Amino acid sequence: MNKIRLALIGFGSVGREFCRIIRERGSEWEDKFGCSFPITAITTASRGSLINPEGIDISRALEEITSHGRFREENPDRSDITSMEAAALDSNDVVVEISTLNIESGRPAADHISTALKAGKHVITANKGPVAFYYRELVELTRKADRRFLFEGVVMDGAPVFNLVRETLPGCTIKGFRGILNSTTNFILCSMEKGMTFEEALRNAQEMGWAEADPSMDIEGWDAAAKTAVLINVLMDGNLTPSRITRTGISGINSDQIRTAKRNNKVIKLICEGYLNKNGEVMGMVAPVALPESDRMAGIEGTSSLLELTTDLAGKVSIIIDDPKIGETAYALISDLLTICRQINLLND
């Protein structure tokens, strides 16, 4: 049995769901994959931190956050350890970086990851910032450390975007892509098609938990631009940051535009695109586009997403995820963790 010790940096909804899944399925995976996954550290920005080299009491940690909003002082695992210290702890093998996205710089998440890699740790993350801003640097650190840096959940929740390309499209070159990759904006546009104003649709998205109190990250296209940068950097060997993606959000879309599009048998969607310009340079764009109703992307409803990859050898390959929930993003972290588990098993055979 290989014991793979985990340190979590961040303990929001994704981190808590990740822990619940491990608690519920861990015994099954010990039998199936030959690995156990004790969580030896959890750090947060405002809810306290925990550390126990033998494994934190996850049920207690989850209960304290649910009931009190933070880890209690009486918790025997309570600690003043910082996130940067946790990233380099001797008592962990894999760092799970799930702190809050910083769309302006990707930090401090990128610093957590680089610190962990330099300390010889594997890293998995659902934070798109580091991949959008520092992908090449982090890949080079990963190579030098002879470790894995995996991030399946940063673009399409639990949909296997990067695994698909890495494992099932060997020899293919990704020539471009387009997609609907932001759930909030698609939910708003679909609601407007049904007769709501932009303001009503946004308020509804906020009430249902899809949009934040400050929704600018979504409606101004920044989240979509970050995901576009990630796909360009990872799949097309580009080197773009979110600010270098041509970006137009949906805040300027009104009901008249929605109705006009409908009269012309079109549907407005926020489209992300990566492509090669006439000079062969990789470019990225995020913008509302009036699509013909016959376009498969026109039919993507609510919070669902679609990504279409254009390859040189396998033609066009599409991935759809329907109405994703927080569990799908947590599963992407699990998928990455089990990938590392399989690698460790192979090394130890």
- Could you tell me if 95 and 7 are in contact, meaning their C-beta atoms sit under 8 angstroms apart? yes
224 secondary structure, DSSP code: H
- Could you tell me if 345 and 33 are in contact, meaning their C-beta atoms sit under 8 angstroms apart? yes
In angstroms, rounded to a whole number, what is the distance separating the alpha carbons of residues 235 and 173?
8
- Could you tell me if 35 and 29 are in contact, meaning their C-beta atoms sit under 8 angstroms apart? yes
In angstroms, rounded to a whole number, what is the distance separating the alpha carbons of residues 298 and 258?
13
Q: What are phi and psi of 158, to 5 degrees?
A: -90, 0
Look up residue 65 and give its two tokens.
């956050």
Look-up of token digits 């590392």: 340
- Could you tell me if 38 and 54 are in contact, meaning their C-beta atoms sit under 8 angstroms apart? yes
Give the DSSP H or E segment for 319: strand 316-321
- 178 Cβ contact partners less than 8 Å away, ≥ 6 residues apart: 271, 272, 273, 274, 297, 307, 308
End-to-end alpha carbon distance in the chain: 11
- Could you tell me if 288 and 253 are in contact, meaning their C-beta atoms sit under 8 angstroms apart? yes
- Could you tell me if 139 and 130 are in contact, meaning their C-beta atoms sit under 8 angstroms apart? no
Rg (CA), the chain: 21
Catalytic residue among 227, 262, 269, 325: 227
Task: Mark whether 194 is an active-site residue.
Answer: no
Edge to edge, the sheet with strand 246-247 lists 246-247, 282-292, 266-276, 174-180, 305-311, 316-321
Active-site residues, by number, are: 227
